[in-house]
Structure 1
Amino acid sequence: MNKKHKQNRMSYRTKSDRYMRAWTMLVLALCLLTVPAFAAGSSDPLTIVNNLSDFIFSCIRAIGIIILGWGIVQVGMSVQSHDASQRTQGFLCLFGGLLIAFAKEILTLIGVV
């Protein structure tokens, strides 16, 4: 075994050892520095389910507002470029975003939620 081959082999081992040490330190830091999250003081399961429902519907509302904004951008770009198919896509995206953004109110109105 020549000296160059031995040196390359040794540097590979030290590189992998360094990566392994860094990975181990990262995992240990994450394990030691995490804080457990405890539930709120209420033990009523209905309150917990309602809070989860509100959280999920707020996430859905945020997605709907993003889609609504993208639909407005598409309609604006279609008006500027005089593209009828893009305008149709923009209006579909706009109305879909409105429908998603107000999903909870619509479901409450028809009596599902």
Structure 2
Amino acid sequence: MAVWSALALAFTVFAIPAFAADNPLTIVNNLSDFIFSCIRAIGIIILGWGIVQVGMSVQSHDASQRTQGFLCLFGGLLIAFAKEILSVIGVI
């Protein structure tokens, strides 16, 4: 019983209050920036893989691999610059 009492007293005495942010919109904006930075990183990885595929297709003279490489390259560009494209269109 003494241990439970000491534990309950410790929880009440050493409790740290959690302060919420003043503006909840800043939290949403920070989350949006984090998600778009993750999307940009994925787009840059796909862009790099597309460059590798185009280089390998030029070396091996493979037209289908070159097509896949260019599709991957342009898809990576679209994904990497998705936030800027959406802001130009006016969605964000």
TM-score by length of 1: 0.64
Structure 1 unaligned segments of length 5 or more: list them.
1-38
Partner of 1:15: none
Does 2:84 correspond to 1:105?
yes
Aligned counterparts, 1:39-54, within 5 A: 42-54=21-33
Count of residue pairs the alignment pairs up:
75
Percent of aligned positions with the same letter in both sequences?
89
Q: Tell me the distance in 1 between the aligned counterparts of 2:19 and 2:61.
A: 55
Partner of 2:74: 95
Between structure 1 and structure 2, the one with the greater Rg is 1
Q: Tell me the distance in 1 between the aligned counterparts of 2:90 and 2:52.
A: 33
* Letter of the 1:60 counterpart: I
Aligned counterparts, 1:1-113, within 5 A: 42-113=21-92
Structure 2 unaligned segments of length 5 or more: list them.
1-17
Task: Give the Å deviation of 1:92.
Answer: 0.1
What's the Cα RMSD here? 1.5
Greater RCO, 1 or 2 (C-alpha within 8 Å, sep 6+): 2
DSSP-derived class of the 2:21 partner: coil
DSSP-derived class of the 1:112 partner: coil
